[in-house]
Amino acid sequence: MFIGKRWLKIISGLWLCLALLLTFGLSIPSLAFAADSWNVFQHDIRHSGQSSYRAPKAPVIVWVIPFGTTGKPTTPVVVSEDGKAFVGVYVTPPAESAITKTSTQSSTGHSGIYAFSPEKRILWVSKVTGKVSGPPAIGEGGIVYAAIGNSLVALNEKDGSARWQIKINGESTGGVMVGKDGTVYVTTQEGRSLYAVLSTGKIKWKYTGRGQVDSSPAIGSDGTIYFTTRGLNLYAISPNGSLKWRYKVTEKSNRLLTSPALAMDDTVYFGASRDEGISGKGFLYAVGSDGRLKWRFETKGKKVTMPAVTKDGDIIIGCSTLSCTEDESLTAGDSYIQAINPDGTLKWEFKTRDELRYAPVIDADGDVYVSSPDRYLTCLTKEGTMMRWRAKIGDKISIGPKGILYITANSSIAAVGEKVFGKDINQVHDNLGEDESRAGSAISLLIYAIPVIVVLGIVGYLVKLKVGPGPKDKGVEGNDANI
Instruction: Find, among 50, 112, 123, 110, the residue nearest to 82 by Cα.
Output: 123
Answer whether 260's CB lies under 8 Å from 269's CB: yes
| Domain end among 419, 448, 465 | 419
Is 19 within the bounds of a domain?
yes
Same domain? For 155 and 247 the reply is yes
Answer whether 146's CB lies under 8 Å from 88's CB: yes
Task: Please report the pLDDT score of residue 100 as a whole number.
Answer: 41
Same domain? For 180 and 258 the reply is yes
Is 62 within the bounds of a domain?
no
Task: Please report the pLDDT score of residue 394 as a whole number.
Answer: 86
Task: Please report the pLDDT score of residue 68 as a whole number.
Answer: 79
Same domain? For 25 and 133 the reply is no
Same domain? For 117 and 258 the reply is yes
Same domain? For 24 and 139 the reply is no
Answer whether 164's CB lies under 8 Å from 65's CB: no
Q: What string of pLDDT tens digits covers the 483 residues of the chain?
A: 444 555 555 555 555 444 444 443 333 333 333 468 999 999 999 999 999 999 999 999 999 998 878 899 999 999 999 999 999 999 987 644 444 444 433 344 789 999 999 888 889 999 999 999 999 999 999 999 999 999 999 999 999 999 999 999 999 999 999 999 999 999 999 999 999 999 999 999 999 999 999 999 999 999 999 999 998 999 999 999 999 999 999 887 778 999 999 999 999 999 999 876 667 789 999 999 999 999 999 999 999 999 999 999 999 999 988 665 555 554 557 899 999 999 999 999 999 888 898 999 999 999 999 998 888 999 999 999 889 999 998 889 999 999 999 999 889 999 999 987 545 444 444 443 333 333 333 333 333 344 444 445 554 544 444 444 444 433 333 333 222
Is 378 within the bounds of a domain?
no
| Domain end among 419, 450, 471 | 419
Other CB atoms within a 10 A radius of the CB of residue 3 amount to: 10
CA dihedral 272, 214, 44, 118 (to 10 degrees): -120
CA angle 440, 443, 446 (to 5 degrees): 150
Q: In angstroms, how far is CA 132 from the centroid of its own chain?
A: 20
The CATH number covering residue 172 comes to: 2.130.10.10
327: Cβ contacts below 8 Å, ≥ 6 apart: none
Is 366 within the bounds of a domain?
no
Across-strand partners of 434?
none
Question: How far apart (Å, rounded) are the C-alpha atoms in residues 288 and 90?
Answer: 38
Dihedral class, residue 344 (left if φ above 0, else alpha if ψ from -120 to 50, else beta): left
Answer whether 434's CB lies under 8 Å from 442's CB: no
The CA-atom distances, in angstroms, between 178 and each of 175, 251, 481 are 10, 32, 64
Task: Please report the pLDDT score of residue 308 as a whole number.
Answer: 98
Question: How far apart (Å, rounded) are the C-alpha atoms in residues 97 and 17?
Answer: 62
Q: In sequence order, which ranges of 122-257 are alpha helices (DSSP H)? A: none
Across-strand partners of 319?
304, 336
Q: Is 49 exposed, middle or buried (CB count within 10 Å of its CB: 0-12, 13-18, 19+)?
A: buried
Is 206 within the bounds of a domain?
yes
Same domain? For 174 and 26 the reply is no
Question: How far apart (Å, rounded) are the C-alpha atoms in residues 412 and 347?
Answer: 36
Is 352 within the bounds of a domain?
no
Is 174 within the bounds of a domain?
yes
Residue 50 DSSP one-character state: B
Domain count, the chain: 2
| Domain end among 395, 419, 443 | 419
Answer whether 330's CB lies under 8 Å from 355's CB: yes
Answer whether 167's CB lies under 8 Å from 120's CB: no
Cis check: omega of the bond before 94, within 30 degrees of 0: yes
Domain range for 296: 68-313+415-419
Same domain? For 163 and 206 the reply is yes
The CA-atom distances, in angstroms, between 411 and each of 6, 71, 134 are 75, 6, 17
Question: How far apart (Å, rounded) are the C-alpha atoms in residues 347 and 433?
Answer: 39
171-207 per-residue burial string, b: 16 or more CB within 10 A, e: under 16: bbbbbbbbbeeebbbbbbbebbbbbbbebeeeeeeeb
CA dihedral 38, 375, 232, 177 (to 10 degrees): -20
Answer whether 149's CB lies under 8 Å from 189's CB: no
DSSP 224-279: -EEEEETTTEEEEE-TTS-EEEEEE---TTEEEEPPPEE-TT--EEEEEEEPTTS-
Question: How far apart (Å, rounded) are the C-alpha atoms in residues 9 and 443?
Answer: 32
Is 125 within the bounds of a domain?
yes
Same domain? For 13 and 94 the reply is no
Question: How far apart (Å, rounded) are the C-alpha atoms in residues 452 and 111?
Answer: 55
Same domain? For 114 and 179 the reply is yes
Same domain? For 133 and 224 the reply is yes
Task: Please report the pLDDT score of residue 120 as a whole number.
Answer: 86
Instruction: Find, among 362, 363, 359, 364, the residue nearest to 396 by Cα.
Output: 359
At 269, phi and psi to the nearest 5? -110, 140
Task: Please report the pLDDT score of residue 35 as a whole number.
Answer: 60
Edge-first strand listing for the sheet containing 162-167: 137-138, 144-148, 151-155, 162-167
CA angle 182, 186, 188 (to 5 degrees): 170
Alpha-carbon Rg for the chain in angstroms: 27
